[in-house]
Amino acid sequence: MDRARRQQALTLLPICLAFALSLTAVSSSYWCEGARKVTKPLCLDQLHGKNCIHFRRPNSSYGSKDESQVVLYIWEIGDDKFIQRRLHVGLWESCEENLNSTGERCRSFRSVVPTEEQGVLWLCIGAEVLVVFLILTSAILLGSRMSCHSCGFNWLKVDASIAILMVFAGLLGMVSHMMYTTIFQITVNLGPEDWRPQRWDYGWSYCLAWGSFALCMAVSVTVMSRYTTARLECSERQRVQKSTQHPQYGFPEPETSQRVWETGAAPSPSGHAFLNVPGKVSMC
């Protein structure tokens, strides 16, 4: 019993870890990270930092009323005129840093996804939420399996249910991750101009989601293997019990009985057969 409890505790640990990874991935906004190139604004304050374009106004003062005579001499040329604005995207929102690096500006990821792909996005979000629910249900079932030891309840069915739920959660998570990847790539190509990143890569939330998938599949294989072993042991135990309750008595082999019947010989306690002849007894 202690060995079984230890096995169940070792199984509950990866289930809880998969639940934590999946919940963190769903609630975070770092599935994809990237950057897009934007033009620096003009530096109105000459003491400003490097995130703006420094310029010079010759033959004109800042208080001049004749702005038509103002000529701007831009010192930054080429890539110096642009700045890389980092952004990160999740299931729910897309956040982009401000130029002055004092915070982020976030908006709904659904608002930048093309209209024809928004239905697929909702399916992806629903699948991810369902994965979290399935993993939580498996953890609750295994916890009740460890805390209750009712003899009248078939706990093998609970193990089978846990294995089915975990493999279903893993496969559903795999499909939803691939759906999100497709949606994001389509949005990068067809999304609004003020959002499209020039370079991007997968973030740590995306890695956590795939880590949860790997744990779900590993737990399902482990629990199914344990269920199969227990099922075979129960079948063998029932077969042994039936054989002990109904013992089989040994009878003479059919060929020996037929031979004895045909020759008229009767087996003796010593294992020899005696031929019954009237008035004479001899050994075969």
Identify the pLDDT of residue 45. 57
Identify the pLDDT of residue 94. 92
Q: Taking the model in full, what pTM does it have?
A: 0.70
Which segments of the chain have a pLDDT < 70? Answer: 1-5, 42, 44-81, 100-101, 148-155, 245-284
CB-based contacts of 24: which residues, under 8 Å, 6+ apart?
205, 208
Q: What is the DSSP letter of 81?
A: G
- Residue identified by tokens 């890695």 is 207
Three-state secondary-structure class, residue 45 = coil
Yes or no: say if 32 and 203 are a contact pair by the CB < 8 Å rule.
Answer: yes
Identify the pLDDT of residue 8. 73
Q: What does the pLDDT look like over 73-99, one tens digit per residue? A: 555 556 666 778 889 999 999 998 887
CB-based contacts of 5: which residues, under 8 Å, 6+ apart?
146
148 to each of 76, 93, 130, 153, how far by Cα in Å? Answer: 72, 43, 27, 10
